[in-house]
Structure 1
Amino acid sequence: MSNTVLTINDSEFSTEVLDAAQPVLVYFWASWCGPCRLMSPIVESIASQYDDRLKVVKMEVDPNPESVASYSVEGVPAFRIFKTGSVVEASEGAMSRQKLQEFVDAHLSSTV
Structure 2
Amino acid sequence: MKIRVTAKNYRQEVLEARIPVLVEFFADWCGKCAMMEDVVDLVAANCGGVLKVCQIEIEDSADLAEQFQVEIVPTFVIFKNGEPVSAASGVLNRQVVLDMVMDEAGLEICG
* TM-score after normalising by structure 1: 0.91
In structure 1, runs of 5+ residues without a counterpart are: none
- Percent of aligned pairs with the same residue? 34
CA separation in 2, counterparts of 1:72 and 1:84? 20
Q: Kindly provide the amino acid, as one letter, of the partner of residue 5 in structure 1.
A: K
Residue 42 of structure 1 pairs with residue 51 of structure 2: no
* Structure 1 equivalent of residue 89 of structure 2: 92
**Residue 107 (structure 1) shift:** 2.1
Q: Give 1:73-92 correspondences, 5 Å limit.
A: 73-92=70-89
CA separation in 2, counterparts of 1:85 and 1:109? 14
* Structure 1 equivalent of residue 30 of structure 2: 33
* Structure 2 residue matching 1:10: 3-state secondary structure: coil
* TM-score after normalising by structure 2: 0.91
**Residue 91 (structure 1) shift:** 0.8
When the two chains are superposed, the root-mean-square deviation of aligned CA atoms in Å is: 1.1
Equivalent position to 1:107, from 87, 104, 107: 104
In structure 2, runs of 5+ residues without a counterpart are: none
Q: Kindly provide the amino acid, as one letter, of the partner of residue 8 in structure 2.
A: S
Q: Kindly provide the amino acid, as one letter, of the partner of residue 88 in structure 1.
A: V
